[in-house]
Chain A
Amino acid sequence: MKLAAIALRNLARNRRRTVLSLLVIASGTAALLLTAGFVRFSFSGLEDAIIRGGLGHFEVVLEDEAALASTQRAALPRLADWQAVRAAIEAAPQVRAAGGVIQLSGVVGLGDRSSAFLALAVEPDRERRMGFDVKLREGEDLPGEPPAEGADRVLLGLGLARAIGARAGDAVTLMVVTPDGMLNAVDMTVCGLFTSGLQDLDLRLIKLHLASAQRLAETEGVSSIVVGLADGAALEPARAELLRRLSGRNPRLALLDWRSRAPFYGQVRSLYSGIFWFLGGIVFLLVCLSNSSALLMAMMERVREIGTLLALGTSRAGIGALFLSEALWLGLLGALAGDALGLALARVLNALRIEMPPPPGAVSGFPLQLELAPQDFLLATCLMLAVMAVSALLPILRATRLRIVDALGHV
Chain B
Amino acid sequence: MSSSPILEAVGVHKTYHLGQTSVPALRGVDLVVARGDFVVVVGPSGSGKTTLFNLLGTLDEPDAGRIVFDGTPLASLRESERARLRRRQFGFVFQSFNLVPVLSARENVEYPLWIDGVPAADRARRVAQALESVGLGHRMEHRPDHLSGGERQRVSLARALVHDPVVVLADEPTANLDSKTGRAIVDLLARLSVERGTTFLLATHDPAIVEHAQRTVQLSDGQITADVRR
Chain A residues contacting B88 (CB-CB under 8 Å) are 313
Point out which of A9, A311, A318 has the most chain B C-beta atoms below 10 A from its C-beta. Answer: A311
A405 to B54, CA, bound (A): 7
Please tell me if A316 contacts chain B, counting CB pairs below 8 Å.
yes
Q: Is the CB of A315 within 8 A of B111?
A: no
Q: Is the CB of A316 within 8 A of B79?
A: yes
Closest chain-A Cβ to B124's Cβ sits at a distance in Å of 10
Chain A residues contacting B101 (CB-CB under 8 Å) are 13, 305
Given the known A-B contacts A404-B60, A405-B59, are A313 and B87 also in contact in the complex, defined by CB atoms under 8 Å?
yes
Q: Is the CB of A312 within 8 A of B115?
A: yes
Please tell me if B141 contacts chain A, counting CB pairs below 8 Å.
no
Q: Is the CB of B92 within 8 A of A312?
A: yes
* Residue total for B at the interface (Cβ-Cβ under 8 A): 29
Given the known A-B contacts A1-B110, A312-B86, A404-B59, are A318 and B115 also in contact in the complex, defined by CB atoms under 8 Å?
yes
Please tell me if A40 contacts chain B, counting CB pairs below 8 Å.
no
Chain A residues contacting B94 (CB-CB under 8 Å) are 308, 408
Q: Is the CB of B107 within 8 A of A312?
A: no
Q: Is the CB of A312 within 8 A of B87?
A: yes
* Prevailing SS type, chain A contact patch: helix
Chain A residues contacting B116 (CB-CB under 8 Å) are 313
Given the known A-B contacts A318-B115, A405-B54, are A313 and B83 also in contact in the complex, defined by CB atoms under 8 Å?
yes
- Closest residue of chain A to B160 (Cβ to Cβ) is A312
Q: Is the CB of A1 within 8 A of B114?
A: yes
Point out which of B100, B102, B107 has the most chain A C-beta atoms below 10 A from its C-beta. Answer: B102
Given the known A-B contacts A314-B83, A315-B83, A318-B115, are A408 and B102 also in contact in the complex, defined by CB atoms under 8 Å?
no
Please tell me if B222 contacts chain A, counting CB pairs below 8 Å.
no
Interface range for A: 20 to 34
A408 to B116, CA, bound (A): 21
Please tell me if A310 contacts chain B, counting CB pairs below 8 Å.
yes
From 89 to 121 in chain B, residues with beta carbon under 8 angstroms from any chain A beta carbon are: 90, 92, 94, 98, 100-103, 107, 110-112, 114-116
Please tell me if A173 contacts chain B, counting CB pairs below 8 Å.
no
Closest chain-A Cβ to B166's Cβ sits at a distance in Å of 13
A310 to B83, CA, bound (A): 7
- Closest residue of chain A to B57 (Cβ to Cβ) is A311
Please tell me if A6 contacts chain B, counting CB pairs below 8 Å.
yes
Q: Is the CB of B57 within 8 A of A312?
A: no
Please tell me if B84 contacts chain A, counting CB pairs below 8 Å.
yes
Q: Is the CB of B86 within 8 A of A10?
A: no
Closest chain-A Cβ to B17's Cβ sits at a distance in Å of 13
Please tell me if A78 contacts chain B, counting CB pairs below 8 Å.
no
Please tell me if B2 contacts chain A, counting CB pairs below 8 Å.
no
Please tell me if B76 contacts chain A, counting CB pairs below 8 Å.
no
Contact with B along A310-349 (1 / 0, CB 8 A): 1111111010000000000000000000000000000000
Chain B residues contacting A405 (CB-CB under 8 Å) are 54, 59-60
> Which A residues fall within an 8 A CB radius of B?
1, 6, 9-10, 12-13, 304-305, 308-316, 318, 403-405, 408
- Chosen A-B contacts, 25 in total, with CB atoms closer than 8 Å, are A1-B107, A1-B111, A10-B102, A305-B98, A308-B94, A308-B98, A308-B100, A309-B100, A310-B83, A311-B59, A311-B92, A311-B98, A312-B87, A312-B92, A312-B115, A313-B83, A313-B85, A313-B86, A313-B115, A313-B116, A315-B80, A315-B115, A404-B59, A404-B60, A405-B54
Nearest first, the 3 closest Cβ-Cβ pairs linking A and B are A313-B87, A9-B102, A313-B86
Known: A304-B98, A312-B112, A313-B115. 15 other contacts (CB 8 A): A1-B114, A10-B102, A13-B101, A13-B102, A305-B98, A305-B100, A308-B98, A311-B98, A312-B86, A312-B115, A313-B86, A313-B88, A314-B115, A315-B80, A408-B59
